[in-house]
């Protein structure tokens, strides 16, 4: 069986390619640059993807596509119409890939969407599920939901087996963004005002996500389904910081600050979204994939944090 991985030299793509090759699958990597593509994968250079991308050569002999390439969160947005730019890559390019896949005889396309399709936050005792009414709140989430809708339409018209996977925050060795910033702050011993935060958030370790994506690409019952995944152990921001500190060998110094003051500080600093993610609830029910595909996470939260901390320390040494 041959897989085409879009975004194969990214954080998830590299780990996915390594594991697929280890399991004996053929892997084609569709990328803008060959830099970072794992040894053993064939390389298909595409440049920037959009509605006009020619996928013909990349799809030769491919049985399953796992579509990771996307325009993701932009911390400092500088485009006049962010939603239009997200749609250009996340919707139009995805549609072009799917229709090209059909013409090339591809059997299945696994689309890595986002939990943002469900919404930005949950309330106590209420988890997001795959059956919830979608409620994306920002241009990125809207574009991911629109791409899902396009793929369902193509599947209905052509018989292409589409599998949607909506992960929450993905962490692991080499993680970037806010998670990497947290580890940098912990390593410097900077006190953090989150001792009063007792929220619950779902995460998914990179190794667990990779395993779930491979199962979604190969399991006969996965076609046509949408799955939410997580490690199965939710954690508060304060507990996450403490546990990361333990794994990094850097005690985490937390102090009490009312959450209302944290929200005000976020508003005044223009970082309300980041503060809301640190304070808010976001819990995921991954029961559907466990029941239907008999999937269970290979790694615990502790194992994931250990690997993530080790990766960070190896990078800075």
Task: Report how far apart, in Å, the C-alpha atoms of 5 and of each of 31, 38, 44, 56, 96 are.
Answer: 9, 12, 10, 14, 15
Structure tokens at 300: 């615990």
**pLDDT tens digits along 169-220:** 999 999 998 899 999 999 999 999 999 899 999 999 999 999 999 999 999 9
Residue 74 pLDDT > 70, yes or no?
no
Nearest of 154, 150, 131, 291 to residue 226 by alpha carbon: 131
Taking residues 94-105, report their average pLDDT: 97
3-state helix, strand, coil in the chain (%, to 5): 45, 15, 45
The chain-wide mean pLDDT, for the chain, equals: 92
Structure tokens at 225: 């389904």
Tell me the catalytic residues. Answer: 140
Q: State if pTM tops 0.85.
A: yes
Taking residues 273-283, report their average pLDDT: 87
Residue 241, SS3 per DSSP: helix
Nearest of 56, 55, 32, 34 to residue 43 by alpha carbon: 34
Residue 315 pLDDT > 80, yes or no?
no
How many residues belong to the chain? 317
Nearest of 193, 309, 157 to residue 247 by alpha carbon: 309
List all residues 6 or more positions away from 248 whose beta carbon is below 8 Å from its beta carbon: 183, 186, 187, 309, 312, 313
DSSP β-ladder status, 161-166 and 64-67:
unpaired
Q: What span, in angstroms and rounded, lies between the C-alpha atoms of 69 and 228?
A: 19
- What's residue 277's pLDDT? 83
- What's residue 125's pLDDT? 79
Grade residue 77 by pLDDT with cuts at 50, 70 and 90: low
Least confident span in 3-12, 46-55, 148-157, 278-287: 46-55
Task: Report percent pLDDT > 70 for the chain.
Answer: 97
Top pLDDT among 16 and 317 is at: 16
Structural domains of the chain, with CATH: 2-166 (3.40.50.720)
Q: Do residues 205 and 243 lie in contact, with contact meaning Cβ atoms separated by under 8 Å?
A: no
Residue 251, by phi and psi: left (phi above 0), alpha (psi -120 to 50) or beta?
beta
- Looking at residue 38, the DSSP 8-state letter turns out to be P
Task: Report percent pLDDT > 90 for the chain.
Answer: 75
Q: What span, in angstroms and rounded, lies between the C-alpha atoms of 165 and 14?
A: 18
Q: What span, in angstroms and rounded, lies between the C-alpha atoms of 193 and 212?
A: 35
Grade residue 62 by pLDDT with cuts at 50, 70 and 90: very high
**pLDDT tens digits along 242-277:** 999 999 999 899 999 888 888 887 887 777 778 888
- What's residue 75's pLDDT? 47
Grade residue 20 by pLDDT with cuts at 50, 70 and 90: very high
List all residues 6 or more positions away from 247 whose beta carbon is below 8 Å from its beta carbon: 305, 306, 308, 309, 310
- Looking at residue 37, the DSSP 8-state letter turns out to be P
């Amino acid at each position: 069986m041959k897989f085409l991985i879009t975004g194969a030299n990214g954080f998830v793509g590299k780990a996915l390619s390594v594991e697929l090759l280890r399991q004996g699958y053929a892997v084609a990597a569709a990328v803008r640059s060959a830099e970072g593509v794992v040894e053993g994968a064939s390389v298909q250079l595409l440049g920037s993807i959009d509605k006009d991308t020619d996928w013909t050569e990349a799809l030769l002999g491919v049985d399953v596509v796992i579509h990771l390439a996307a325009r993701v969160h932009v911390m400092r947005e500088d485009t006049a119409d962010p939603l239009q730019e997200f749609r250009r890559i996340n919707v139009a390019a995805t549609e072009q890939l799917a229709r090209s896949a059909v013409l090339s005889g591809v059997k299945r396309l696994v689309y890595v969407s986002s939990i943002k399709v469900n919404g930005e936050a949950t309330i106590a005792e209420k988890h997001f599920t795959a059956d919830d009414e979608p409620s994306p709140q920002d241009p990125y989430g809207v574009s991911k939901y629109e791409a899902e809708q396009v793929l369902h339409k193509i599947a209905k018209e052509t018989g292409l087996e589409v599998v949607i996977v909506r992960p929450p925050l993905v962490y692991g060795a080499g993680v970037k963004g806010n998670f990497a910033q947290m580890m940098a702050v912990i390593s410097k011993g900077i006190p953090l005002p989150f001792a009063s935060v007792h929220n619950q958030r779902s995460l998914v370790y990179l190794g667990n996500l990779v395993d779930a994506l491979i199962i979604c690409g190969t399991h006969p019952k996965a076609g046509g389904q949408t799955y939410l995944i997580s490690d199965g152990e939710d954690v508060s921001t304060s507990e996450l910081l403490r546990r990361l500190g333990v794994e990094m060998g850097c005690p985490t110094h937390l102090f009490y600050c009312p959450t209302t003051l944290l929200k005000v500080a976020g508003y005044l600093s223009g970082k309300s979204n980041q503060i809301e993610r640190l304070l808010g609830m976001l819990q995921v029910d991954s029961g559907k994939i466990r029941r239907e595909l008999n999937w269970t996470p290979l790694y615990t939260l502790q194992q994931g944090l250990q690997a993530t901390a080790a990766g960070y320390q190896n990078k800075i040494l």
